[in-house]
Amino acid sequence: MELDPVCKMELTDIKKCDESIVDGKKYYFCSTFCRVLFENNTEYYLSKENKYGLTKQLKGVSH
């Protein structure tokens, strides 16, 4: 299962998805729209993507 780093959609069939390679890593997108957004803001989406697995931490965040 891959996640679209832009809209966070779960991509069940990546064969049909748009893809982009950044630093040798492949990313998949639900649509060309998401891919273009990603390619135009790669650093932004990649820094957000780092927080993907950290939902627990997000819940525990307090200011």
- Which parts of this chain interact with Zn ion (CB under 5 A)? 4, 6-7, 9, 30, 34
- Cα(52)–Cα(14) distance, rounded to whole angstroms? 19
Closest distance to Zn ion from the beta carbon of 59 (Å): 24
- In the bound state with Zn ion, the residue whose beta carbon lies nearer, of 15 and 63, is 15
Cα 32 to chain centroid distance, Å, stands at 13
- In the bound state with Zn ion, the residue whose beta carbon lies nearer, of 34 and 53, is 34
Closest distance to Zn ion from the beta carbon of 17 (Å): 9
